[in-house]
Amino acid sequence: MRKIEIPIPGKEYNVLILEGILNRVDEFLDVNGQFVIITDSNVEPRYLSTLSSKLLNCKTYIINPGENSKSMETAYSLINQMIEDGVTRDVSVVALGGGVVGDLAGFIASIYMRGVKFIQIPTTLLSQIDSCVGGKVGINSKSMKNSIGSFYQPSIVLIDPLVLKTLSKRELNNGFAEMIKYGMISSKPLIEALENGINISDVSPYIEQCLLIKKALVLQDEFDHGVRQLLNYGHTIGHALEQDSKYSLLHGEAISIGMAKISQNEDYYQRLVSLLHKYGLPTVYEYNKQDVYNYITTDKKVKGNILNIIRVKTLGKALVEPMEKIEIKEYL
């Protein structure tokens, strides 16, 4: 088992990475407690019964898959159901699913009766290497992705790499986009490993490596005012493209295009494009430039006329660079 300690003062928790841990959750959780499991209709038939059978007192709520479920309407509906079902402040809300489920369930945990325990059991590569750690939880508004939310750390994260074997190729590649991001901003050896090809059957050390990079940034900057912003490489343009596509682009696909766009003038550009294509990721997309620019200028990270862009100058080393928002147009 791989164990990563996240020692945020007063909010300490562990990330456990172990093949088959989903079948052994009773070894790591107090199964006599009260639990709410939030999952989606894709994950439900595969893993819900495995988890719920281990918990003696749990209620389950199923949402539709996809970004459209990260809404105030879905959150409000689930909270009302929990109240009607007699869920108390002693509950632990368990996110069983990918990034959408984790963001939504964490947001609900952060506000339900002013905050209850939150457990992450991520089931996609993207959520296992990125969104399950760091405490960003939230939902989308009609005009902005992740515009409503909290910083709310989980009490434990349980990662079972075996569940990745049931993912589609597209979903796996969606996660590899974020892994490429981690290599680009912090680890040239990870880029080289990705170029050589990573077998999903031997992915555990790479999950750990990505989370250790994120851990280091989160411990320095929990609330995303400084170095944690390095994790946004490719995301300013990527988030705008997600919204413009009405979320027909998966997150990793949009970030892939965003990384390519913001890096188009760099010496490593062709190497990056080749790597993204190796994992079936897009680097171009048809869009209206003004529409995408409008999404960018309403992004929550814009302050006045300034927007922080993440630049990779050499593979494995990134920096935060302030830019006047009008300048981003030249990259679109």
Mean of pLDDT values over 19-32: 97
Selected residue with higher pLDDT from 224 and 300: 224
pLDDT of 76 over the 90 cut: yes
CATH at 131? 3.40.50.1970
Q: What pLDDT does residue 71 have?
A: 97
Structure confidence at residue 301 (pLDDT): 77
pLDDT number for residue 130: 98
In a shared domain, residues 115 and 252: no
What residue ranges in 239-326 does DSSP mark as E strands?
Answer: 306-314, 317-324
Do 128 and 142 belong together in one domain?
Answer: yes
* pLDDT for position 175: 98
Q: How many domains does the chain have?
A: 2
**Rounded distance, CA 36 to CA 25, Å?**
15
Domain boundary among 119, 139, 165: 165
Are 252 and 141 members of one domain? no
Name the percent of the chain lying above pLDDT 70.
Answer: 100
Q: Pick from 210, 48, 230, 219: which is nearest to 125 by CA?
A: 210
**Average per-residue pLDDT in the chain?**
97
Q: What residues contact 279, with CB distance under 8 A and at least 6 apart? A: 173, 176, 177, 180, 194
Last residue of a domain, one of 165, 200, 235: 165
Those residues whose C-beta lies under 8 Å from the C-beta of residue 262, and which sit 6 or more positions away, are: 233, 234, 236, 237, 309, 310, 311, 331
User: What is the rounded distance in angstroms from the CA atom of residue 322 to the CA atom of residue 330?
Assistant: 15
pLDDT band at 142 (very low <50, low <70, confident <90, very high): confident
User: Which among 165, 192, 219 is the end of a domain?
Assistant: 165
pLDDT score, position 80: 98
- What does the pLDDT read at residue 92? 98
Give the pLDDT confidence score for residue 287 in this predicted structure.
Answer: 96
Residue 64 has pLDDT above 80, yes or no: yes
Displacement of CA 45 from its chain's centroid (Å): 22
Quick one: pLDDT at residue 302? 85
**104 and 186 both lie in a single domain:** no
For residue 137, is pLDDT > 80?
Answer: yes
d(Cα 4, Cα 157) in Å, to the nearest integer?
10
pLDDT in tens, 187-211: 999 999 999 999 999 999 999 999 9
Q: Do 106 and 183 share a domain, yes or no?
A: no
190 and 285 share one domain: yes
Q: Which residues pair with 136 in a beta bridge?
A: 151
Q: What is the pLDDT of residues 158-183, one digit of tens each?
A: 999 999 999 999 999 999 999 999 99
pLDDT tens per residue across span 148-158: 999 999 999 99
Residues 82 and 177 in one domain: no
* Same domain as 180, residue 133: no
DSSP 81-145: HHHHTT--TT-EEEEEESHHHHHHHHHHHHHGGG--EEEEEE-SHHIIIIITSS-EEEE--SSST
Q: What is the pLDDT of residue 140?
A: 95
Q: Does residue 198 share a domain with residue 160?
A: no
Task: Specify whether 69 is located in the same domain as 152.
Answer: yes
User: What type of residue is 17?
Assistant: I
Same domain, yes or no: 197 and 304 = yes
Average pLDDT over residues 80-87: 98
Lowest-confidence segment of 29-33, 141-145, 252-256, 325-329 by average pLDDT: 141-145
Summarize pLDDT for 288-325 with one digit per residue, the tens: 999 999 999 888 778 889 999 999 999 999 999 999 99
The Cβ of residue 219 has, within 10 Å, a number of other Cβ atoms equal to: 15
CATH number of the domain at 239, please.
Answer: 1.20.1090.10
In this structure, the answer to whether residues 98 and 195 fall within a common structural domain is no
Range of 193's domain?
169-331
Which among 85, 38, 25 is positioned nearest to 65, based on CA atoms? 38
